[in-house]
Amino acid sequence: MIWNILVVALLSPLAILAAPLVRRATDDTSVLKFLNVMEQFDNALYTQVLAKFSEHDFTEAGYSSTQLPKKIIQKIMRDDTAHASFLADGLRGQALTTCKFKFDSILTDVKTAMETARVFEEVAVAAYTGAGLLLNDVNLRVATSSIVTNEARHQSVMNVLNGGSDIPQSFGVALRPEQALSVVSPFISDCDIGIPATKSLKLKSHLQSGVPIKFDMSNLPTNKALYCQILVGGLPHALSQPLETCTFPVDNIDGPVYMFVTDDAHPLASNILSQNHGSIQAGPAVAFVDKQEAVLSKLVLHSGLHGHRKGGRQDIKVVGVQHRLARVLSENKGNKMKE
């Protein structure tokens, strides 16, 4: 029955537009502060990546040209700097300048750093998409919609640099600020945005088709029924399952997948303006289903290295990065954002 719902939803993805709207509850200044910090975050990550790894490290990671990934990273950094400057101007002196970003736990090797950067770029796209729905000022909505197209290009090139599906599914996901912060906040300190992050959702296992997902329950309530909500771009709502029997779907999916835990069995709406976000207990966790042949990746990665697939289309590859974030969360217990 779940898969019938999935197929119908994918056949009519624009059904999400029919969902009722509710009043925006986040003020524009808070949203701009959040987006500015997200840009600072990405820039700090790439600065530390370039400082940490040598050309030899990129070669060992499987890149056919050591200059190509570094040049792409530098171009992304220039874009992020321009975005941050624009947002800071809009904040008129209210931009946060004290935030600290520490990525030591994911800078163990180039492969880990680039896989995690892929997640962060995807979250950035979802964050800007959500911000465009939450902002009240029409001029700010126009500005952020122009930035999100650039962020989407960053995300696409990270797909290529990670041997993933070049251009995945046709529709994306929107996140509220507190949901995006759930993914990035373990790496941020001394940064009082004024928006408390949703609790991070930690996985205890790699993701496999048809195999129950194991979550770290230490961050979740134990006195109520909980539900796993799996959200994919183009769906009007998530696939809801009891947490203890939650399994990972791959049919008709190619690209990023978001997982939440709620205390309400009703499927979580993809429209963040009508979404019952108060039911979310943790999340999202983010993973990628790479179903397509990584055609463009063949130009930048040696065959068989960095997870790159040889030859034609192969079995679905599910790349879960959140299991690494679970490790990072445990290492960064004393390094949390102010709430």
- Three-class HEC string of 60-112: HCCECCCHHHHHHHHHHHHHHHHHHHHHHHHHCCCCCCCCEECCHHHCCCHHH
Percentage of the chain exceeding pLDDT 90: 65
| Tokens read off for 226 | 């909980």
Distances (CA, A) of 213 to 5, 86, 318, 329: 20, 41, 13, 19
State the pLDDT at residue 297. Answer: 84
Tell me the mean pLDDT in the region 256-272.
96
pLDDT at 263 over 80: yes
> Would you say residue 335 has pLDDT above 50?
no
User: Which domains, from first to last, does the chain contain?
Assistant: 2-7+24-303+313-331 (1.20.1260.10)
Q: In Å, how far from its chain's centre is CA 118?
A: 8
- Coil vs helix vs strand at 231: strand
Residue 319 is predicted with a pLDDT of 52
Which band of pLDDT confidence, cut at 50, 70 and 90, is reported for residue 292? confident
At 207, is the pLDDT very low, low, confident or very high (cuts 50, 70, 90)?
Answer: confident
Tell me: pLDDT of 331 over 80: no
pLDDT band per the 50, 70, 90 thresholds, residue 327: very low
Q: Is pLDDT of 323 > 50?
A: no
> According to the model, what pLDDT value does residue 177 have?
98
Q: Pick the residue with more confidence: 224 or 17? A: 224
Question: Residue 115's closest CA among 306, 292, 298?
Answer: 306
Please report the pLDDT score of residue 232 as a whole number: 94
Residue type for position 270: S
Please say whether the beta carbons of 238 and 267 come within 8 A. Answer: yes
- For 39-71, write each residue's pLDDT tens digit: 999 999 999 999 999 999 999 999 988 889 999
**Mean pLDDT computed over 272-295:** 90
Q: Which tokens is 54 given?
A: 């040598």
Q: Mean of the per-residue pLDDT values for the chain?
A: 84
In this predicted structure, the answer to whether residue 7 has a pLDDT above a threshold of 70 is no
Instruction: Provide the pLDDT confidence category of residue 322 given band limits of 50, 70 and 90.
Output: low
List pLDDT tens digits, range 97-133: 999 999 999 999 999 999 999 999 999 999 999 999 9
* 72 backbone dihedrals φ, ψ, rounded to 5°: -65, -45
> 28-42, pLDDT tens digit by residue?
999 999 999 999 999
Which of 16-20, 126-130, 233-237: highest mean pLDDT? 126-130
pLDDT at 140 over 90: yes
pLDDT of residue 315: 40
Residue 217 has pLDDT above 60, yes or no: yes
Q: Is the pLDDT of residue 313 over 70?
A: no
Mean pLDDT in residue range 280-290:
93
